[in-house]
C-alpha cells in the first residue's frame, strides 16, 4: 500500500483558489502548484510571471483515501467537470526531496530561509532553518514571500511585539517574527500536523520558548497582539475579519496574504467595515498582500 497519493487537477488561473479551497476542505495535507510543463512554482526571478494559463493544483492525501469523493467535491465547487490524474507518492518524495530544488532564499536586506540540508551564505544574518514536514510553507510561493518581505522590512516594529501567525503551516512566518525580535508569537492552525511541524521547526531555530502553536479554539492572553499575519485564502480571510479584529490591539497591524489581485478590493472592504484602514498593498506575480491597521 502506498504511503501517500497526489491528486493533480488541471485548471485555468482564475479557478486556482476555488480548487485549492475545495482540496483543503476535502482533507488535503498540502496544496501546491505546477505549470503544464511540470515545473514547480519556486521563487520567481524578477520579471517572471508564474501564474500560468493552465495550472496544476496538487493535493496530497493519505494513500487510503478514496479520491473519487474529492474529485466530486472539486467539481461541485467549480460547477463543471475537471481534468485530473493521480499518482502514488512515497513519504520521502514530499518531505525531503523538495530540498533538492529549493536553495537558500533572501527576503529584504538580511532575512534568509534555508531548507534542511542546505547551508546559508556566509554573509547571512537572520536565518530561518526549515523542514516543512507535513505542513505547507517554504517561502517559495509568492504569498509567503510577500509576508516574509514585510517581516524583513519591519524589524523595528517586531522588537518586543506580540504576534499572531494565523494559518501557520510550517511555522515559517512565526519563526521569522521571533528571530527578528518578537517577544511572543501565537502560531494558529486548524491542522494538528501544522502545529506539530511548527513546534519542531521552532525548536530547531531555538525560539521554541517564544512560539506557542495552538488551534483557533484556544484563546490568547487578554493583552492581544500588536501584529497578525494571515497567509490563507480570500474567503477564509473575509470570514475571519471579526476574529482578526478582536485579536489585535488598537493600532495593531493585520498583514493579509493569499489573495489574488482581483479579490483585494472585496477583502479590503470587509476589513474597512470591521475597523481597519488599508495602509499599503503589494503585488507579486498576481498575488496581493494587504497591509491593514486597526483604527
**Residue 215 pLDDT:** 94
Q: If DSSP codes are grouped into helix, strand and coil, which group holds residue 67?
A: helix
Confidence of residue 43 (pLDDT cuts 50, 70, 90): very low
**Residue 41 pLDDT:** 40
**Residue 42 pLDDT:** 37
What spatial distance separates the first Cα and last Cα of the chain, rounded to whole Å?
Answer: 54
pLDDT at 270 exceeding the cut of 90 = yes
Pair 263, 285: CB distance under 8 Å: no
32-36, long-range: CB within 8 Å, 24+ apart, which pairs? 32/57, 32/58, 32/60, 32/136, 33/57, 33/58, 33/141, 34/8, 34/58, 36/10
Q: For residues 192, 198, 199 and 200, what is the CA-based torsion angle, rounded to 10 degrees?
A: 110
Q: Which residues pair with 84 in a beta bridge?
A: 9
Q: Which residues pair with 214 in a beta bridge?
A: 188
pLDDT per position as a tens digit, 47-73: 333 445 678 888 888 888 889 999 999
**Residue 179 pLDDT:** 96
If you average pLDDT over each of 48-62, 124-138, 186-200, 244-258, which comes out highest? 244-258
Query: What is d(CA 169, CA 137) in angstroms, rounded to the nearest whole number?
Result: 6
Strands 162-166 and 184-188: parallel
Distances (CA, A) of 173 to 150, 165, 177, 286, 291: 10, 7, 6, 21, 15
CATH of domain 97-294: 3.40.50.150
Residues of the chain with CATH 3.30.70.120: 4-94
**Residue 49 pLDDT:** 36
pLDDT at 15 exceeding the cut of 90 = no
Task: Give the DSSP H/E element, type plus range, for residue 236.
Answer: helix 234-239
**CA of residue 137 relative to chain centroid, distance:** 5
Strands 54-62 and 30-35: antiparallel
Sign of CA dihedral 289, 273, 184, 99: negative
pLDDT at 189 exceeding the cut of 80 = yes
Per residue, the 3-state secondary structure of 120-177, as one string, reads CCCCCCEEEEECCCCCCCCCCCHHHHHHHHHHHHCHHHHCCCEEEEECCCCCHHHHHH
Query: Taking all residues of the chain, what is their mean pLDDT, rounded to a whole number?
Result: 84
**Residue 142 pLDDT:** 85
Confidence of residue 221 (pLDDT cuts 50, 70, 90): confident
Tell me the fold of 4-94.
Alpha-Beta Plaits (3.30.70)
Mean pLDDT along residues 100-127: 78
The answer for residues whose C-beta is within 8 angstroms of residue 177's C-beta and 6 or more apart is: 151, 158, 161, 163, 165, 185, 227, 229
pLDDT at 76 exceeding the cut of 80 = yes
Mean pLDDT along residues 234-249: 94
Pair 114, 104: CB distance under 8 Å: yes
pLDDT per position as a tens digit, 121-146: 777 789 898 875 544 555 667 888 89
The answer for residues whose C-beta is within 8 angstroms of residue 61's C-beta and 6 or more apart is: 4, 5, 6, 7, 27, 28, 29, 67, 70
Mean pLDDT along residues 221-238: 90
Mean pLDDT along residues 270-287: 94
**Residue 140 pLDDT:** 64
Q: What percent of the chain has pLDDT over 90?
A: 47
Residues of the chain with CATH 3.40.50.150: 97-294
Residue 11: phi, psi to the nearest 5? Answer: -145, 155
Q: Give the pTM.
A: 0.69
**Residue 158 pLDDT:** 96
Confidence of residue 285 (pLDDT cuts 50, 70, 90): confident
Amino acid at each position: 500500500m502506498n504511503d501517500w497519493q497526489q491528486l493533480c487537477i488541471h485548471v485555468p488561473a482564475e479557478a486556482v483558489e476555488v480548487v485549492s479551497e475545495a482540496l483543503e476542505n476535502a482533507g488535503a495535507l498540502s496544496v501546491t502548484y505546477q505549470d503544464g510543463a511540470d515545473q514547480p512554482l519556486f521563487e520567481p526571478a524578477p520579471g517572471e510571471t508564474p501564474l500560468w494559463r493552465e495550472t496544476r493544483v496538487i493535493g496530497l492525501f493519505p494513500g487510503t483515501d478514496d479520491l473519487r469523493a474529492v474529485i466530486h467535491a472539486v467539481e461541485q465547487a467549480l460547477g463543471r467537470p475537471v481534468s485530473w490524474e493521480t499518482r502514488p507518492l512515497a513519504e520521502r518524495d514530499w518531505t525531503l526531496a523538495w530540498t533538492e530544488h529549493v536553495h537558500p532564499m533572501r527576503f529584504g536586506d538580511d532575512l534568509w530561509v534555508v531548507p534542511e540540508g542546505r547551508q546559508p551564505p556566509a554573509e547571512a544574518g537572520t536565518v530561518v532553518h526549515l523542514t516543512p514536514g507535513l505542513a505547507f510553507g517554504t517561502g517559495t510561493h509568492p504569498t509567503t514571500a510577500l509576508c516574509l518581505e514585510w517581516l524583513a522590512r519591519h524589524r523595528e516594529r517586531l522588537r518586543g511585539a506580540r504576534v499572531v501567525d494565523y494559518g501557520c503551516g510550517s511555522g515559517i512566518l512565526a519563526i521569522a517574527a521571533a528571530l527578528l525580535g518578537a517577544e511572543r508569537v501565537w502560531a494558529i492552525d486548524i491542522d494538528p500536523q501544522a502545529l506539530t511541524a511548527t513546534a519542531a521547526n521552532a525548536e530547531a531555530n531555538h525560539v521554541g520558548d517564544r512560539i506557542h502553536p495552538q488551534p483557533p479554539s484556544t484563546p490568547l492572553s487578554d493583552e492581544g497582539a500588536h501584529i497578525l499575519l494571515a497567509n490563507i485564502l480570500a474567503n477564509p480571510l473575509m470570514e475571519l475579519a471579526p476574529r482578526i479584529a478582536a485579536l489585535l490591539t488598537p493600532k495593531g497591524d493585520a498583514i493579509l496574504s493569499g489573495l489574488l489581485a482581483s479579490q483585494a478590493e472585496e477583502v479590503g472592504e470587509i476589513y474597512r467595515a470591521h475597523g481597519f484602514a488599508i495602509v499599503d498593498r503589494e503585488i507579486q506575480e498576481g498575488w496581493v498582500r494587504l497591509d491593514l491597521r486597526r483604527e
